[in-house]
Structure 1
Amino acid sequence: MARTVTVSKPTTWLLRLIAVTYVFFLVAWPVGLLVRRTFSNGLTNLTDALSDEKVVGALQLTAVVAGWAVVINLVFGVTISILLVRFEFPGKRVLSALVDLPLSVSPVVVGLALVLAYNGRDGLVGPALEDGGLQIIFATPGMIMATCFVALPLVIREVVPTLTEIGDDQEQAARSLGASAPQTFWRITLPSIKWAVIYGVVLSLGRAVGEFGAVKVVSGNITNETQTATLLVEAKYQNFQQDQAYAIAFLLILVSVACLLVVAFLRPKNEK
């Protein structure tokens, strides 16, 4: 039987103060300074950044890479989640551990591993792919692969607990009434896990938009070709163009915040 722990009011306020102070110095203050620097000259920093062809190209490439990564992780993330929860098979624990691997491995290591595997000169399969006309490393496909790797667990770890909680009673009932597997998924399973999927997609999008280490290794960071927005922030800052670096970083933050706000407003009250 669970025991209820009574906490005094002063202790409660102390814990709240510690939590708020921690979040303030770790998140709110640095982000606030970034926003202030971005608008230190009004909208000039933003307009100057958005009028730069390099910035526009980097933002477009970021959108392409993040978009494909989110779609791929959505499909495979939901599939792997159902496989882990609804089926028993040899190697299930190994698969579950591999899913969490991107959370514990440095993105730079991920990028280097992809280079070793898909490099067109001495990679395991890179030469064969390049002979077929498909370049992976130092091109968009490699950047998408690296982004998929680092963001994969975010969808799965949102969907798996929800699937476990709802059980499979309704799915079994649907199958007993003659529903096919696709009908059961679209009419029973997906509506039950839709908010877990949405949150996983939002987290995956935020992670994909802000990825730096793995993408830098596999992209080569070539200006106007394979330079994403995060890589351009570093380049602008190192080239003493801090105002544009702040503006680009603010736009990246704005995307993540906008996704969270959209989910918060669209989510039904009874789901909160």
Structure 2
Amino acid sequence: MLETSTPVKWGLRAVAIGYVFFLVAWPVAMVVRATFAGGLGNLTDALGDERIVGALQLTVMVAFWAVVINLVFGVTMSLLLVRYEFPGKRVLSALVDLPMSVSPVVVGLALLLVYNGRDGWFGPTAEAAGLQVIFDSPGMIMATCFVALPLVIREVVPVLREVGDDQEQAARSLGASGPQTFWRITLPSIKWAVVYGVVLSLARSLGEFGAVKIVSGNITGQTQTATLLVEAKYQNFQQESAYAISFLLIAVSVACLVVVAFLRPRSDER
């Protein structure tokens, strides 16, 4: 390990704490302060507004399905990347990180070009079959899935590599089937990586804005999520409601992280 003097250590700590404070803690604290500046009135008024409650319910629904889809495909793709060798593996691994480097607005525009009901590649076919993708919940879920795609995979892949496949091979040699090996050997060894990936995916899904705004159409009372409503409220000089909605989104994300921190074993085992 690199040895440093005590003043240097304290200096590095101060820089790190200051960075997190000014970039994260202070802005979040200001949102909380603005929400409760007049007591609980802003929060109770927001929860009593049917428009806000509907936007929150839609946000939870979109985030739930996005997390479920990313959980299934994330674990499956992690196993594929770690346990198997195939042509194009490096390309697939690189594509997994694409949502981290591409603007969500670009993602929304790409989905619009592909699934638009008027002139999209698959949109007219989907609408002919009775499925509207763009300006409806399916498109919003797809956009949210894309932006949160890497979070489960990048949590699970390192753990799979660390635990290896010795126990899995031993189980198969004793006659265990593929599903039995997964449920009894593989999943218990990666459970905390999966949990953290799900929590991060949930937090990312709840806060998605750019891609969802493009594919949803931001229709009031129909496809307007909580993040889109925050923008609408703030632009319409209803800052109190915007602060209250923002606080609710922050509270859910922080609560998820706190619960996982308490449930996770102290031994730091995944």
Partner of 2:79: 82
Q: Map 1:25-64; keep pairs closer than 5 Å.
A: 25-64=22-61
State the TM-score, normalizing by the size of structure 2: 0.99
Alpha-carbon distance, 1:69 to partner = 0.1
Pick from 248, 252, 268 the counterpart of residue 251 of structure 1.
Answer: 248
Are 2:134 and 1:137 aligned? Answer: yes
Partner of 2:212: 215
Pick from 105, 119, 129 the counterpart of residue 108 of structure 1.
Answer: 105
Are 2:57 and 1:73 aligned? Answer: no
Q: What letter corresponds to residue 234 of structure 2 in structure 1?
A: Y
Alpha-carbon distance, 1:270 to partner = 2.1
Report the RMSD for the aligned CA atoms in angstroms: 0.7
Alpha-carbon distance, 1:267 to partner = 1.1
Cα separation, 2, equivalents of 1:168 and 1:145:
33
Partner of 1:202: 199
Cα separation, 2, equivalents of 1:270 and 1:24:
28
Identity of matched residues, %: 78
Q: What letter corresponds to residue 11 of structure 1 in structure 2?
A: V
Cα separation, 2, equivalents of 1:198 and 1:5:
33
Alpha-carbon distance, 1:269 to partner = 2.0
Pick from 233, 245, 262 the counterpart of residue 236 of structure 1.
Answer: 233
Cα separation, 1, equivalents of 2:261 and 2:99:
27
Cα separation, 2, equivalents of 1:17 and 1:179:
53
Alpha-carbon distance, 1:271 to partner = 2.8
**What is the aligned length?**
269
Are 2:11 and 1:14 aligned? Answer: yes
Q: What letter corresponds to residue 189 of structure 1 in structure 2?
A: T
Query: Which stretches of structure 1, 4 residues or more, deviate above 4 A after TM superposition?
Result: none
SS at match of 2:208: coil
Cα separation, 1, equivalents of 2:119 and 2:88:
31
Alpha-carbon distance, 1:6 to partner = 1.5
Cα separation, 2, equivalents of 1:253 and 1:213:
18
Cα separation, 2, equivalents of 1:94 and 1:16:
38
